Amino acid sequence: MESAYGEIASFVGAPKLVPMMMKWFHDGDNVFQKLNQYTGQEKSMAEYLTIYRNHVPNISLLEGVEETLDELTHRGVILGLITDGRSISQRNKIKALGLERWFEDKNIIISEEFGSEKTDERNFRCFTEKYPDASFAYVGDNPEKDFIVPFKLGWNCFMLKNDGRNIHSQEECPEGCYLIENITEIIRV
């Protein structure tokens, strides 16, 4: 999100406004409307949304993720990705992170492409039907919606503890879910 705001702030000629835009977002304000008010511009919401949705983010994998994915792949684990959102935005994130290295395209479920919400059971059943003899594990960070379906299907679930960068509240770890501080912890389990 921050990299998208950076691109939008540059678009309006005010690249130093990114921290303020992030504050507006966390305060629940309409960031684009506030940006127009602050800069005195009259950019349309459609212009802002086009930039937001189509930008290639400046993001990188968290510490330990590359090593963990390498190790899982080395062990023969088939990796799948279920992500919520618009196809173009999610594909740009996948590309920016280099995830194609570990995830085959047939094992990437993007809600808009699949015609579903992330919590739709069909997203998860896609994997259980494709790999009927496998056991499954799911890693997520949003206790409100990430674990509902995998729990129902009997998957092992791991909640990655918020290190301060998560936008989802984590009041408590759902019952039956392993709380992990770092992604590397799933290797030992």
Residue 170 has pLDDT above 80, yes or no: no
How far, CA to CA in Å, does 67 sit from each of 29, 93, 164? 38, 19, 22
In this predicted structure, what is the pLDDT of residue 12? 92
d(CA 14, CA 46): 19
d(CA 1, CA 97): 14
Residue 11 has pLDDT above 70, yes or no: yes
Q: In sequence order, which ranges of 27-185 are alpha helices (DSSP H)?
A: 31-39, 45-54, 65-74, 87-97, 111-114, 121-130, 148-152
The two three-digit tokens of residue 173, written as one number: 């770890």
Average pLDDT, the chain: 89
- Write the CATH number of the domain with boundaries 65-186: 3.40.50.1000
Tokens 């280099």 correspond to 98
- CA torsion sign, 81 to 176 to 153 to 86? negative
Model pLDDT for residues 81-120, shown as the tens digit of each residue: 999 888 998 999 999 999 999 999 999 999 999 888 878 8
8 Å CB contact between 99 and 109: no
Is residue 137 helix, strand or coil? strand
In this predicted structure, what is the pLDDT of residue 131? 96
DSSP bridge pairs for 138: 157
Residue 19 has pLDDT above 90, yes or no: yes
* pTM (two decimals): 0.78
